[in-house]
Every structure is written in C-alpha cells, then in structure tokens.
C-alpha cells in the first residue's frame, strides 16, 4: 500500500511517499517539496501547487493521500494559503478517485513518538528510524510530510472516525454511512470544525 503524505503550504508544500507492507513494515519511497513563489499572484501560485501535487500523485499512484489538517486558529497571515494548498491536494486526489485522510499534527506526533507534544528533532529521528534511513530525510521540512504518511499507516484502527472512516468504504457503504450519520444527527459535525 502506497501512502502519499502532504504537509500543506503555499510557498513550500511537503510531499512524502512511503510503502506500507505486511506487519506494519514501512519503507521510504520519496520526499520532495512543491514550491510557489510569493511574487506570483495567488491564482498562479495555487496552479503551481496543484500541478506539482497532481504530478506526484500521478507518478506514485498512492492508495491514500494523507494530509495534515489545517486549523483556523493558526497564523492568520498564512492560514488561508495553507488551507487552499491543502484544498489543491484534496482536489487532485478526489479527481483521481483516491481516498483522502486528514490527520492533526498531534495525531502524527503520537503515532510516531508516542508523545503528542514531541519536538521537531525527535520527530525527524523517529521518522528516519521507522523508515530504516541512516539519516533524517532532507529537505528537513519535508519530513513532516513523511510523518503524516507514517501517521496514517500506524494509526490505531479504532481511531478512525467521521469522514476518515468513510474514505475506506465503497460508494454504497459510504452512502449508507452518511445516511446513518444524518439520522443520528452526530457524525461529521466535530470533524468539520477543522478543515
């Protein structure tokens, strides 16, 4: 199973690809950063990010695209661009019929280090160890994208909820689940707070 992780950003958008084998054995496939220049207009920046992400998805044909969830509380100057970059990743995946999973930074830290407040150097070391690399992957800020991919592979099965669970259903199962959620009046409400 190939998982493509995305650490969304408008100036630098991290992409990390891993392969998840039997017994949760994970291996490194690819890491890179898709960029857009702050000197370009917003529409052309989004086009650059979309084209870069779509090319990665076409190249690695992932089974799931795992994206870091963006929250409205984050840095006001960049949060909208970050959310839009995440939107480009979601669109590129959805257009290809590839399921999307959203994971928070805390989920990622917990899954990888067992500590939801782990610091960046610890995360980088653990990402390298889990993937059997001699050194932390570079560029360093693309390690977050690998972490989001690993998080999806290592997540406890019981932790799936809301939209994430729907992603692994057939279209018929998904409709059924959505109808069940509607009738229960719960379901995606909380998940919708974050993007």
Please indicate whether residue 7 is annotated as part of the active site. yes
Binding to a second copy (CB under 8 A): which residues in 42-71? 42-44, 46-47, 50, 70-71
Strand duo 26-35 + 12-20: pairing: antiparallel
Q: Rule CB under 8 A: say whether 133 interacts with a second copy.
A: no
Give the whole-angstrom CA distance, residue 111 versus residue 153: 9
Segment contacting a second copy (CB under 8 A): 103-111, 121-129, 140-148, 159-167?
Answer: 159-167
Q: Which is nearer to a second copy, 122 or 181 (CB)?
A: 181
Per-residue DSSP letter, 158: G
Tell me the backbone φ, ψ of residue 38, rounded to 5 degrees: -60, -15
Q: Which is nearer to a second copy, 120 or 174 (CB)?
A: 174
Q: Which is nearer to a second copy, 129 or 182 (CB)?
A: 182
Contact 18, 26 (CB under 8 A): yes
Beta-carbon count within 10 A of 133 CB: 14
Please indicate whether residue 164 is annotated as part of the active site. no
Q: Rule CB under 8 A: say whether 40 interacts with a second copy.
A: yes
Beta-carbon count within 10 A of 15 CB: 26
Q: Which residues pair with 102 in a beta bridge?
A: 67
Q: Which residues bind a second copy (CB under 8 A)?
A: 38-44, 46-47, 50, 70-73, 76-77, 79-81, 83-84, 86-88, 90-91, 93-95, 100, 102, 163, 166-167, 178, 181-182, 188, 192-195
């Amino acid at each position: 199973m190939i998982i493509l992780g995305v650490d969304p950003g408008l100036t630098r958008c991290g992409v990390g690809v891993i392969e998840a084998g039997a017994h949760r054995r994970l291996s490194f496939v690819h890491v890179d950063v898709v960029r857009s220049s702050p000197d370009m207009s917003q529409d052309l920046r989004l086009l650059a990010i979309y084209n870069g992400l779509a090319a990665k998805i076409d190249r690695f044909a992932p089974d799931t695209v795992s994206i870091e969830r963006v929250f409205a509380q984050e840095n006001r100057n960049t949060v909208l661009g970050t959310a839009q970059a995440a939107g480009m990743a979601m669109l590129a995946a959805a257009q290809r019929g590839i399921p999307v999973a959203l994971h928070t930074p805390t989920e990622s830290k917990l899954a990888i280090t067992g500590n939801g407040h782990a610091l960046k150097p610890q995360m980088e070391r653990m990402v390298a160890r889990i993937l059997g690399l001699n050194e932390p992957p570079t560029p360093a800020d693309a390690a977050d994208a690998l972490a989001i991919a690993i998080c999806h592979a290592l997540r406890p099965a019981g932790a799936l909820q809301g939209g994430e669970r729907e992603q692994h259903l057939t279209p018929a199962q998904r409709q059924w689940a959505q109808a069940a959620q509607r009738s229960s009046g719960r379901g995606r409400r909380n998940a919708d707070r974050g993007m």
